[in-house]
Structure 1
C-alpha cells in the first residue's frame, strides 16, 4: 500500500467506526445504561474494534509467519491495512472522547491513544516496524473481555438477581468474564508488553532512526505504568471486594 492508499484506509476506518457508533445509538439500550447512553455506545464501538483487530492480528502472523522473525522490515498488505484501520479507530475514539467527556475523566485514555497513534503513524508511513505494531495489537484480545465486563456493569448485570439488598454476589456471566479478563490481561498485556520491551532492548542497535527507539521505549514504559494501575483496579474490584463480601458471611 502506498501512502495515499494508507491515508484513505485510515480516513475510511474513522468514518466507519463513527457510522457504527451512530447505528448503535438507534439500537435498544438496557434500561440501567440509558443514563450513560454515550458511554454504552462508546464501549460497544470499542468492543467491535477489539474483536476485529485482535482476530486480525492473529491472522497476520498466521498468513505471514516470517513476520515473527523480522518485526522491522517484514510486512504485508494485510498487516499494513490492520494498523491503518486501527489508527482510524483511535482517531474516531479521540474525537468522541473530546466531544462527549470532560478532559479530567478522559485524559488517561487520550494519552494512551496519542502514544499509540504516534507509533502507528511512524509504522504506516515508513513501512517499517509494522510487525512490531501488529504484536502490540494482540493486546486487543484482552480488551474484548475488558469491554464486555464494562458493558455488564453498565447494564446492571454484575450481581445475581435478588442479592443486591443483602450481600451482592457476582452473576455467573460476570464472574466468568472477570476471570477471562484477568487471565487474558496477564497473557496479552503483561506478557506481550514485557516481550516487546525485551525485543526493543535486544534489537536496539538495529532500530533506526534513533528517535524510533526513543518513541518505542517511552511508549512502552508509559503503557506499562498505565496497565499496572488498571490491573490493580481490576484486582481490587473483582477479587478483593468479592473476598471481603465472602468473609462477611462467615
Structure 2
C-alpha cells in the first residue's frame, strides 16, 4: 500500500511538472498573439484545434485512448510530411537547388508556407502533450515522449518568435514521412492484423525501413553535416549551439529507434524463434 502511494505521488509530480510547462507555454503564445499583435502565430492555435477536433471525430469509431492518440499522430505525420514535400518541391521548381540550401536561406529566410507549417506542427505537439497527460499515455518517471515534446515546443516556439532557422526546422520534419509507417504499424497491430506473411505487412515493413534510412537517418545526418560545415557563418548567438545540440539528440534517438525497430521486426518476422530464444 505504501509503495503504491509513493508511486502515485511520483506520477502526480511528473504530471504537475509537464502540465505546468504546457500552461506556461500557452500563456507565452497568448501573450505574443494578444499583446504583441503576432497574429501569424494563430496558426499554432489552429493546429491544436485541428488535431483536437480530429481526436473527437475518431472517438466516434473507438474510445480506446491509445488508438485515438495513435490515429491522430498518423494524421499529423501525413499532413506534416505532405506539407514539407509541397514546400520543398515548390521552392525547387521556383528557384532551383542552387540557392535553396544556402546558409542565409536556411537561417534567415523563410520559404513560402514554411512558417505556417511549422506553427501547425507546433500546435500538434501541444495537443499531443495534453492528450498524453490527460490519458496517461506514457511510461516511466522521466517519460521520454513528454520530454521530447517539451523540447520540440521550446525550440519550435523560440524559432517562431524570432523568425530564424525556420527552413532548417522544416527540413528536420522530413522524418515525419517515416513516422507515417510507425503509426500505421501500431494501428495495424491494434486492429489485429499481425500475419507476417501478409502482403500488407511485408509492404509496410519495406516502406518502414526505406523511409527510416532515407527520410529520418540520412536527412538528419546531412542536416548535422551542413550545420558543422557552416558553423563559421553563424553569429555569436545561441542558434548554432541549440541546433547542434538538437540534431545530436535526434541522431541519438534515431539509433535507439533503429534498434527498437529491428527488435520489433524480428519479433514479427520470426515469432517462434524469438519466443524460443527468450
TM-score of the aligned structures, taking structure 2 as reference length:
0.76
**What residue number does 2:9 align with?**
none
Secondary structure, counterpart of 1:101 in structure 2: coil
- 2:211 aligned with 1:175, yes or no? no
Query: Map of 1:1-250 to 2, 5 A cutoff?
Result: 4-27=38-61, 29=62, 37-65=64-92, 66-69=99-102, 70-101=105-136, 103-105=138-140, 107-159=143-195, 169-239=196-266, 242-243=269-270, 245=272
Displacement of 1:85: 0.4
* Count of residues in Structure 1 that have an aligned counterpart in Structure 2: 231
Structure 1 residue 49 displacement after superposition: 0.7
> Aligned pair in 2 of structure 1 residues 238, 143: CA closer, same or farther (>3 Å)?
same
Deviation of the 1:218 alpha carbon: 1.5
Structure 1 position 74, deviation (Å): 1.9
Residues 165-197 of structure 1, C-alpha deviation per residue, up to 9 Å, x if partnerless?
xxxx44221221112111100001110110111
Q: How far apart in 2 are the matches of 1:41 and 1:207? A: 42
Instruction: Give ranges in structure 2 of 5+ residues lacking alignment.
Output: 1-35, 93-98
The 3 A distance-change label for structure 1 pair 244 and 18 is closer
String of CA shifts for 1:144-169, please: whole Å, max 9, x gaps.
1111011011111012xxxxxxxxx4
**Distance between the aligned counterparts of 1:135 and 1:53, measured in 2?**
11
Write the distance in 2 (CA, Å) between the matches of 1:111 and 1:96: 14
Shift of 1:55: 1.1
CA distance in structure 1 between the aligned counterparts of 2:146 and 2:274, rounded to whole angstroms: 39
1:224 deviates by: 1.6
Moved more, 80-89 or 7-16: 7-16
State the Cα distance separating 1:77 from its structure 2 match: 4.2
Gaps of 5+ in 1: 160-168
Q: Give me the CA root mean square deviation.
A: 2.2
More displaced, 146-155 or 69-78?
69-78
Aligned pair in 2 of structure 1 residues 108, 138: CA closer, same or farther (>3 Å)? Answer: same
Task: Give the alignment's TM-score, normalised by structure 1.
Answer: 0.84
Identify which range, 205-214 or 54-63, moves more after superposition. 205-214
Q: How far does residue 210 in structure 1 lie from its aligned partner after superposition?
A: 2.9
The whole-number CA distance in structure 2 between the counterparts of 1:22 and 1:140 is 23
Q: Is the 8 A contact 2:194 2:268 kept in 1?
A: no
